[in-house]
Structure 1
Amino acid sequence: MNTLPAGELLALFLHFLTLSLLSIGGAMSTAPEMHRYFVVERGWIGDADFTTAIALAQAAPGPNVLFVPVLGFQAAGLPGAAAALVGILLPSTLLSLGVSRWGASRRDTPLVRAFTAGLAPVTVGLVFATGWLLALPFLGDPAHRNGALVLITLTALVTLRTKLAPIWMILVGALLGAAGIA
């Protein structure tokens, strides 16, 4: 665990403050930008630590935003976790409260319907980019490539054709990974 100077901690907070406003579809949709910031630009953590933080948070019960304080903790301990979590939650929470109150009274207007319909493809694209980023380390490794491709394909098919809860696919992937199959 690292400790960051106050200026870096403020930069971390401000970065997550900005990401909060871009996180249409949840914090997970901004994971590629978080990866760029934490791993590539700042070098605070490595690829494996980043992927592990997301995997642990997704396996844990609760909201998918749980990986954000884990990343902050890996970079700067408890102050980093607090800065990342408050930064990602504060603007989006305030904006959501304001917009939902405004939109509830105007839900049948063409503007609100168009806005809602327009967010759907943006959300799908951001979630797809996150999935791609998380799959790249496995697809790039010849020892895991075939298993990863099979697992990704099966997960996509099961998701599209059934109403099976995602936790079961995560469990199967974890078991296959622990067994060294995927």
Structure 2
Amino acid sequence: MKEQAIDMHGKIESPAGSPPSFTELAGISLRVGLLSFGGPAAQIALMHRYFVEERGWIAEDRFLHALNYCMLLPGPEAQQLATYCGWLLHRVKGGLTAGLLFILPGAVAMLGLSFVYVLFGRLPLVESLFYGVKAGVLAIVLQALLKVGSRALKSRLSIAIAIASFLALFLFGIPFPAVIVAAALVAVAADRKKGKRAAIPPQDAATPPRPGFLGTLAVGLSIWALPVVGAAVLISPDHLLVDVAGFFSTLAVVSFGGAYALLSYMAQVAVESYGWLSAGEMLDGLGLAETTPGPLILVTQFVGFLAGFHAPAPFPAAIAATLAAAMTTWVTFAPSFLFIFLGAPFIERLRGNRRLSAALSGITAAVTGTIANLALWFALHVFFAETTNAPLWWIAAPIPTLTSIDPLAVALALVAGWLVFFRKLGVATVVGASAVLGLAARTAIGMP
């Protein structure tokens, strides 16, 4: 792909010489937000398809450079990547738009399903639709794995790092941050062994202008804290909204490794310490988050919603639940925007640094292993109703119960794979077709 340049305003120029309009960026960002099912691997694949492959707005190496930085940050890496891509194309306005549109469809869906949950319980129709969606998403994740791997794994070292990362995550359950740091260190050590000196970072007109770091930090922190301070002043410092904001703000800055790395801790505190919801409700919330677009970390919104619903004073239950859900979502994602707007200008400025490039290439290889881990984990939970722990204590990989295999899910995934790899259909078409097929198949055989 032809390399893209950055103009004097910091926007990426397309191969044709003109950047996408803000309206075009918003339209594609909304499409990504509406179709971003299946967790970070599928979401990253979706962004790569739209921003890099189909539209050519962002060059391959720049997309991977941005992804590597986002993988180092706490919080939802897919939402941060969407924000970074928007920032590259239209600076802060673009970053806010792309990041918010990535979140909002899932947040609105989760809010609606939360109301349905407390009023009616689980809906078979919704479960049947998303039964098929999961099969379609699995095919999209596999396609992403093959595409990213073909571009990222160009040396024996990168292949070795990808395999080692996959084994570390899937078999041994090594914490995700440790895997990423180890991959970066190995790549830097290998580069140093070659005896090549680090290049001086480029400082020319093609570099985005340096923003006011302290000003950005002050504004970002103020926006993050504004609703929390408002709740403390207008209601009470001891109100549930303030407790929710404090807890999920803390999670937002320590959530390395994605939502799954936090679920056990979040469930323990929310269920046992605060008593905001029951263990069964926590599992139901995770199920709802799995079936909505957007980052899985939106399960926090469900927790906040039920916390407000169960302790609504001085508001009606519906209003208290909505306020608590909104507060949770605000403090969960506000730090991610701040991380991008603070760090992206410096990360872009260091693209020519050889040591950093080596570290990020190692992270790219590790990301390939991470996507493979997510794809296999996702496949196991789509195809098998039950999994058990490995017999050896030092093996963390789930072992599927073979008798619990779901032939219908396997068949739907094969159809989705045929649509993706042979028919070359778009993401929206594959997801929609999978949803309809899943609903029709479950209805035909009488599955609940």
TM-score computed with the length of structure 1 as normaliser: 0.79
1:164 aligns with 2:177: no
8 Å Cα contact 1:20-1:27 kept in structure 2: no
Deviation at 1:151, TM superposition (A): 1.9
Tell me whether 25-34 or 171-180 shows the greater mean CA deviation.
25-34
Choose the corresponding residue for 1:106, options 107, 115, 121: 121
Which residue matches 2:339? Answer: none
The C-alpha deviation readout for 1:13-70, integer Å capped at 9, x for no partner, is 1211111121113454232332233223433321111001111111111122111111
Which residue matches 1:19? Answer: 32
Which residue matches 2:61? Answer: 48
Mark the runs of 5 or more structure 1 residues left unpaired by the alignment. Answer: none
Deviation at 1:100, TM superposition (A): 3.3
In proportion to residue count, which structure has more helix? 1
Deviation at 1:121, TM superposition (A): 4.3
CA distance in 1: counterparts of 2:186 and 2:27, whole angstroms? 39
Which residue matches 1:39? Answer: 52
CA distance in 2: counterparts of 1:124 and 1:36, whole angstroms? 15
Which residue matches 1:91? Answer: 105
Deviation at 1:85, TM superposition (A): 1.1
Pair 1:120–1:167, CA change in 2 (3 A): farther
Deviation at 1:80, TM superposition (A): 1.3
Q: State the structure with more CA Rg.
A: 2
The C-alpha deviation readout for 1:122-148, integer Å capped at 9, x for no partner, is 454444443433322233x3xx2x222
Pair 1:124–1:166, CA change in 2 (3 A): farther
CA distance in 1: counterparts of 2:74 and 2:30, whole angstroms? 24
Which residue matches 2:90? Answer: 76
CA distance in 2: counterparts of 1:45 and 1:6, whole angstroms? 10
CA distance in 2: counterparts of 1:132 and 1:33, whole angstroms? 13
Mark the runs of 5 or more structure 2 residues left unpaired by the alignment. Answer: 1-9, 192-361, 363-448
8 Å Cα contact 2:82-2:95 kept in structure 1: yes
Share of identical aligned residues, percent? 24
User: How many pairs were matched up?
Assistant: 177
Deviation at 1:7, TM superposition (A): 7.7
Which residue matches 2:163? Answer: 153
RMSD (Å), alpha carbons: 2.9
The C-alpha deviation readout for 1:79-136, integer Å capped at 9, x for no partner, is 21122112211212101211233245423x6555555655554454444443433322
TM-score computed with the length of structure 2 as normaliser: 0.35
